[in-house]
């Protein structure tokens, strides 16, 4: 299959009460691990590349790796730009064949974020590419953050409704207490805020910073409208831990396949667990 637009699989997940996993990629083994997991679980899946991944691997490699995997796969696969922060990067991804893009204008004032996101939506939709926007800044709810600072960073539900309406985005990343990377202790998520956003907004919600969020919180977030969940850190951890084990057990090993192969296998199993947790197993 060629890439599907992400909104097709995310919209269906939103309607039917599950979430599609969006997993970060930057090399061949990672792409293979995710696709093998999606095939094994019969799940739709999103491969996503950050600007850093594109810089590391090169956009042609990212697209070629993902396209090769998608064409051989029997499950729907989307290729998505994760946290695109400038117009040119988003346009380059559309030109090279991504089926979905995120424009992250969350650090700009609201008016600017709306205007730039809407401009990107108009262009992307004209060529059948899905768009994710972001409103609110990702800050974990932790004791050492002042309440006023936290309030300012988390997504305001009324603003989220306006942002969705005026930009025409397909799905929306919001801040309700998740953060990128591992958490210090258990994350505390603001589900009341998420519920209010759900009441005012009728498009799927994206949860960033999915690594380390307890399973029960993930299920609750899905009940409250989250239909795309981004996971990166936990997958890297699984991959590198397995590769490191090989290198520690056999310091003379010089065959990269014998180091990266176990990393790929470990990552595949972690992706399978996430797919089952998100409820997308068997939905392809």
Catalytic residue ranges: 82
Stretch in the footprint of ligand G3H (CB under 6 A) among 69-77, 207-215, 250-258, 262-270: 207-215
- Cβ proximity to ligand G3H: between 29 and 234 the closer is 234
211 contacts ligand G3H (rule: CB under 6 A): yes
* Chosen residue from 139, 231, 242, 275 binding ligand G3H by CB under 6 A: 231
Interface with ligand G3H in residues 1-40 (CB under 6 A): 24
DSSP type of residue 252: T
How many CA within 13 A on the CB side of residue 164? 21
- Closest CB to ligand G3H among 83 and 198? 83
The one among 17, 181, 214, 256 contacting ligand G3H by CB under 6 A:
181
Residues 189-208 that bind Zn ion (CB under 5 A): 208
Q: Which does 211 bind (CB under 5 to 8 A by kind): Zn ion, ligand G3H, none?
A: ligand G3H
Sign of CA dihedral 48, 52, 58, 61: negative
Residue with smaller CB distance to Zn ion, 208 or 228? 208
Q: For residues 254 and 22, what is the distance between their CA atoms, to the nearest angstrom? A: 32
What are the C-alpha distances in Å from 182 to residues 26, 47, 187, 235?
A: 20, 21, 9, 12
Give the C-alpha separation, 88 to 90, whole Å.
5
Q: How many of the chain's residues bind ligand G3H (CB under 6 A)?
A: 14
Dihedral sign, CA of 112, 113, 116, 118?
negative
Taking the least distance from each CB to Zn ion, the nearer of 208 and 268 is 208
Smallest distance from the beta carbon of 23 to Zn ion, in angstroms? Answer: 12
- Asked if 82 touches ligand G3H (CB under 6 A), the answer is yes
What is residue 225's DSSP assignment?
T
39/140 with CB nearer Zn ion: 140
Write out the two tokens for 19.
Answer: 């979430």
For residue 210, the minimal CB distance to ligand G3H (Å) is 5
* Closest by Cα among 84, 71, 78, 162 to 123: 84
H or E, element range at 93? helix 87-96
CB burial string 183-216: b at 16+ within 10 A, e below? beeebebbbebbebbbeebebbbbbbbbbbbeee
**Should residue 179 be labelled a site residue for Zn ion when binding is judged by CB under 5 A?**
no
Return the residue of 180, 195, 237, 276 that touches ligand G3H, per CB under 6 A.
180
Name the residue with tokens 């831990």: 241
- In the complex with ligand G3H, the residue whose CB is nearer, 176 or 251, is 176
Q: Minimal distance in Å, beta carbon 235 to ligand G3H?
A: 8
Structure tokens at 115: 């205007």
Q: Does 230 bind ligand G3H (CB under 6 A)?
A: yes
**Binding partner at 181 among ligand G3H, Zn ion, none, C-beta below 5 to 8 Å by kind:** ligand G3H
- The minimum distance between CB 90 and ligand G3H, in angstroms, equals 15
Rounded to the nearest 5 percent, the helix, strand and coil shares of the chain are 55, 15, 30
**Residues that bind Zn ion in the complex, under the rule CB under 5 A:** 208
**Residues that bind ligand G3H in the complex, under the rule CB under 6 A:** 24, 82-83, 180-181, 208-211, 230-234
């Amino acid at each position: 299959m060629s890439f599907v637009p992400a909104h097709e699989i995310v919209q269906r997940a939103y309607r039917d009460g599950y979430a599609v996993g969006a997993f970060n990629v930057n090399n061949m083994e990672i792409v293979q691990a995710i696709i093998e997991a999606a095939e094994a679980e019969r799940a739709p899946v999103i491969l996503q590349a950050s600007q850093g991944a594109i810089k590391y691997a090169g956009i042609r490699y990212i697209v070629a790796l993902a396209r090769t995997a998608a064409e051989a796969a029997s499950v729907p696969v989307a290729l998505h730009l994760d946290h695109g922060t400038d117009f040119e990067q988003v346009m380059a991804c559309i030109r090279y064949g991504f089926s979905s893009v995120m424009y992250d204008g969350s650090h700009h004032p609201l008016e600017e974020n709306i205007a730039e996101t809407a401009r990107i939506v108009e262009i992307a939709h004209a060529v059948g590419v899905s768009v994710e926007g972001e409103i609110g800044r990702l800050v974990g709810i932790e004791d050492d953050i002042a309440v006023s600072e936290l309030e300012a960073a988390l997504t305001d539900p009324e603003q989220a409704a306006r942002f969705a309406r005026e930009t025409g985005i397909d799905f929306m990343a919001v801040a309700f207490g998740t953060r990128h990377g591992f958490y210090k202790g258990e994350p505390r998520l603001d589900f009341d805020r998420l519920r209010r956003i759900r009441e005012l907004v009728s498009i799927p919600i994206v949860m960033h910073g999915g690594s380390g969020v307890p399973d029960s919180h993930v299920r609750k977030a899905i009940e409250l409208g989250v239909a795309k969940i981004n996971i990166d850190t936990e997958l890297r951890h699984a991959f590198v831990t397995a590769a490191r084990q090989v290198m520690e057990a056999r310091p003379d090993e010089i065959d990269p396949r014998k180091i990266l192969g176990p990393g790929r296998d470990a990552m595949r199993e972690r992706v399978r667990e996430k797919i089952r947790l998100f409820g997308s197993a068997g939905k392809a």
